Structure 1
Amino acid sequence: MDGFKKRLNESVQFKLSFSLSLAILVIAILAGSFSFVSAFDEAHELQDDMLRQVAALFDRQHLPLAHLGDDGRAKDSDEESRVIVQYLDDGSKAAATGDIGAPLPLPATLSDGLHTLDVSGETFRVLVKTTSNHERIAVAQETGIRDEIARASAVHTLMPLLILVPILLLIVADLVRKLFLPIAALSAEIDRRSEQELHPIEEIHLPAEVRPFVVAINRLLVRVEQSMETQRRFVADAAHELRSPMTALSLQSERLARAEMSEQAHERLVTLRLGIERGRNLLDQLLSLARAQTVSTAPEAPVSVQHVYRRVLEDILPLAEARHIDICVDGEQDATVWVSEPDLIAVIRNLVDNAIRYTPEGGTVDLSVTTEDGQAILRIQDSGPGIQAAERQRVFDPFYRTLGSDQAGSGLGLAIVKAITDRIGAKIQLAFADEVRHSGLRVCVCVSLVNPSHRDPVRMNTEVVVV
């Protein structure tokens, strides 16, 4: 019962359905009761009219009544539904009807009109009438059969109501559910959005009662977007402004390195220069993240994945050679995708850079591309330690570093990849390269292929799948 009350208080749809159903049931009960009583009384009135008509027939036609002891019972007649017609005068004139051979012991003092009498342990409805011959006759019928007929007639009047009320309840429940479908669809549409999709909600086809809430949500989205844009602009401006002093510090450290100094000072200068370089890399990553989180323009032409691979390898090959990493592109299969080339280069560059940094010296990094179900699947696989399943959601957060990592970095690489893939409508999947040993990392980026007939890809929902 407590669960029912809680659901009734929390759900407007359930409350509306319950209220309407309860109102329909109450009205149906009241209407059914009124109809039953009215039909019951009307059936009794019709039966009383039948007694009047029988008496009038005997009076107009001067029909003789059967003499006492005659059995004028009709074949196959129902004794309980018989109508008895007899004289109300002394016993010498009393006679039975055609249904029974003995008259009812009715008192001769009954006045003309309708009476309900108990006769020999049974209840009868009796009509007393004085004919034109100044003879008094009684027309009687048992009330039991009258009531049974009246109840049957009243029940027949209730049958349509009894059949239609359950159907009406089902229709009401279905109508209420359909009326709330736009709200459910609105909730699902908002729930499918990523944190970057802050465009206004469409107000068309929404009920007028819901539109004020949608307008308020749209205003909130505008304020949130403005706040996020302010934060991104602040990060970008701060990073941009810090690049100049960091560049000046780097130049000063290079000049200082050419000066004569002790070996201890030289070691400290090397440490200083590494810190300055890490600071410059962090600023570059912050600028890349700010650019990734902004809405880019639509691509002007399709991009070859193999072309992007070659460009990335040309830039990052010195880092791989310095760590003795064997990096290559498996196969010659190519795919053409409809995304911005700088965006795709940024995604591949960050993934390959992470693979090289986290792969031990002498390891391997393999790049490949395949097509499946209208999508290009870009794979970057390394022989490093991989990422545990428990951390695969966290690694996309800015500045998050995997546990036990001793590699230098800002923790922004995968955050940049996530921001770009969300914006271009791609999917990214993380898994072990070797599922048996739980080692190595395989990253798959699924991007829509170009539709050759329309030169436009089939857009897909933004989704990040961690397997």
Structure 2
Amino acid sequence: MDGLKRRLNESVQIKLSFTLSLAILVVAVVAGVFSFLAAFYEAHELQDDVLRQVAQLVDRQRLSRAPPTTNTRLKDVDEESRVIVQRLGETSSSSEGVDAGGTLPLPAALTDGLHTLEVEGETFRVLVKTTAAGERIAVAQESGFRNEIARDGALRTVMPFLILVPVLLLIVANLVRKMFRPIAALSNEIDLRAEQELHPVEDRHLPVEVRPFAVAINRLLNRVGQSMESQRRFVADAAHELRSPLTAMSLQAERLAEAEMSGLARERLMVLRQGIERGRSLLDQLLTLAKAQSATDLPQVPISVQSIYRRVLEDLVPLAEAKHIDIGVEGTQDAEVWASELDMIAVVRNLVDNAIRYTPERGRVDLSLGVSDGKAELRIQDTGPGIPLAERGRVFDPFYRTLGSEQIGSGLGLSIVQTIVNRIGAEIRLSFANEAKQTGLSVTVLLPVIASGDLEVSS
């Protein structure tokens, strides 16, 4: 009972359905009882009218009462339709009972009109009438059969209530569920949105009572969008403003390296230059992340994946050669995808840069491309330590770096990749390059591939 009360208090839909169902049941019970009693009373009135008509017929036709019949003649008589007509005060000389065809022992002092009398243990409805000839007659019918007939008729009157009320309850429950369907659809639509999808919800199809909530949600989404946009502008502006001083410091450090200095000073200058370079790399990553988060409608054109691989390798091969890492593209298969060239370069560049940084010296980084089920599978594998299963849910968070990692980095590479992948409708998967030893990292990006027919239509 407590669980039902709690659900009623928590759910407007359940409360409305329960209240309407209870009201329908109460009204149906009251209406059914009233209809039953009215039909029962009406049936008795009709039966009394039958007694009056029989008495009127006897009076008009001056019919004489037939002599008492024997049991043989009454064996096939329907007792429910039997009407007894006799002269008032008349008694049968035989000892036969009423059911055997005998007369009712009625007192002669009965007044004209309808009476309910108990005779020989049975109840009878008796009409006493004085005929035009001055003779008093009694027309009687057994009350048990009368009540049974009246009850059956009343039950047939109530039967539609018993059939239609459950149907009405089902209709009400279905209507209430359909009335709340727009609200459930709105909740589902908001729940399935990505974190960057802050466009207003459609409120034209919502009921008037719910529309203010949708308007309030739209205003909240607008405020959240403005706040996120302010944060992105702040990050981009801060990174842009810091880039110039760091560039100046880098130039000063280069000039200082040309001067004569001791070995200790030169060693410290090298550490300084490495710090400046890390700062510049971090600023570049922050700017890339800010652009990826703020970009919405970048132009999408057919992009060759192999061309993206070549452009990225041209920039990052020197970094791989510095660590004596074998890097290259496996296979010659190519595919074209609908995407922004800047987005694809940013995704592949960050993945390859991470692979090079976390792969030990004389390791291996392989880029490959496959097509399966209408999707292009861009895969970057390395022979580094890989990412443990427990940390794969967090490596896409900004500034998060794998525990125990000694590599220099900003922790923004995978966050940038995740942001772009979500925006362009792609999918990213992480796994071990060597599942048996659980070493190395294999990153797969899945994008819908362009069929040849699509290219012909677009051209």
Quickly name the TM-score band, shorter chain normalised: over 0.9
Kindly state the Cα deviation for residue 147 of structure 1 after the two structures are TM-superposed: 1.1
Which string of whole-angstrom CA distances, capped at 9 and with x for unpartnered residues, describes residues 338-378 of structure 1? 11001000000001111111112222211112222332121
Q: 1: distance between equivalents of 2:131 and 2:93?
A: 14
* Correspondence for 2:138: 138
Q: 1: distance between equivalents of 2:9 and 2:138?
A: 66
Which string of whole-angstrom CA distances, capped at 9 and with x for unpartnered residues, describes residues 165-218 of structure 1? 111111111111111111111111111111111111122322222221111111
CA RMSD of superposed structures (Å): 2.1
* Correspondence for 1:53: 53
* Correspondence for 1:169: 169
Identity %: 68
After the TM superposition, which residues 218-229 of structure 1 pair with which residues of structure 2 at under 5 Å, given as runs? 218-229=218-229
| Structure 1 residues 456 and 340, CA gap change in structure 2 (3 angstroms) | farther
Partner SS state of residue 447, structure 2? strand
Asked if 2 retains the 8 angstrom alpha-carbon contact of 1:351 and 1:414, the reply is yes
Which string of whole-angstrom CA distances, capped at 9 and with x for unpartnered residues, describes residues 83-116 of structure 1? 2111113437999999642111111100011001
Q: 1: distance between equivalents of 2:411 and 2:69?
A: 118
Which string of whole-angstrom CA distances, capped at 9 and with x for unpartnered residues, describes residues 101-145 of structure 1? 211111110001100111111111111111122111111111111
Q: Which moved more, 1:311-320 or 1:88-97?
A: 88-97
Matched letter for residue 341 of structure 1: E
2:117 pairs with 1:117? yes
Asked if 1 retains the 8 angstrom alpha-carbon contact of 2:91 and 2:105, the reply is no
Asked if 1 retains the 8 angstrom alpha-carbon contact of 2:387 and 2:441, the reply is yes
* Correspondence for 1:435: 435
Asked if 2 retains the 8 angstrom alpha-carbon contact of 1:35 and 1:157, the reply is yes
Q: 2: distance between equivalents of 1:23 and 1:150?
A: 29
Partner SS state of residue 440, structure 2? strand
Q: 1: distance between equivalents of 2:10 and 2:451?
A: 47
Q: 2: distance between equivalents of 1:234 and 1:275?
A: 23
Matched letter for residue 321 of structure 1: E
Kindly state the Cα deviation for residue 82 of structure 1 after the two structures are TM-superposed: 2.4
Asked if 1 retains the 8 angstrom alpha-carbon contact of 2:91 and 2:103, the reply is no
2:100 pairs with 1:65? no
* Correspondence for 2:101: 101
Asked if 2 retains the 8 angstrom alpha-carbon contact of 1:364 and 1:383, the reply is yes
2:44 pairs with 1:44? yes
Asked if 2 retains the 8 angstrom alpha-carbon contact of 1:67 and 1:94, the reply is no
* Correspondence for 1:189: 189
Matched letter for residue 46 of structure 1: L
* Correspondence for 1:461: none
Matched letter for residue 164 of structure 2: L
Q: 2: distance between equivalents of 1:66 and 1:421?
A: 106
* Correspondence for 1:463: none
Partner SS state of residue 394, structure 1? coil
Matched letter for residue 359 of structure 2: T
Q: 2: distance between equivalents of 1:453 and 1:172?
A: 51
Gaps of 5+ in 2: none
Matched letter for residue 252 of structure 1: Q
Kindly state the Cα deviation for residue 455 of structure 1 after the two structures are TM-superposed: 5.0
| Structure 1 residues 420 and 90, CA gap change in structure 2 (3 angstroms) | closer
* Correspondence for 1:270: 270
Partner SS state of residue 395, structure 1? coil
* Correspondence for 1:372: 372
Q: 1: distance between equivalents of 2:30 and 2:222?
A: 54
User: Could you state the TM-score of these two structures normalised by the residue count of structure 1?
Assistant: 0.93
Gaps of 5+ in 1: 458-467
Kindly state the Cα deviation for residue 24 of structure 1 after the two structures are TM-superposed: 0.9
Partner SS state of residue 52, structure 2? helix
Kindly state the Cα deviation for residue 71 of structure 1 after the two structures are TM-superposed: 5.6
* Correspondence for 2:387: 387
| Structure 1 residues 70 and 62, CA gap change in structure 2 (3 angstroms) | farther
Q: 2: distance between equivalents of 1:346 and 1:448?
A: 18
Query: How many residue pairs were aligned?
Result: 457
User: Could you state the TM-score of these two structures normalised by the residue count of structure 2?
Assistant: 0.95
Partner SS state of residue 197, structure 2? coil
Asked if 2 retains the 8 angstrom alpha-carbon contact of 1:356 and 1:365, the reply is yes
2:210 pairs with 1:210? yes
Q: 2: distance between equivalents of 1:285 and 1:118?
A: 106
Q: 2: distance between equivalents of 1:92 and 1:196?
A: 104
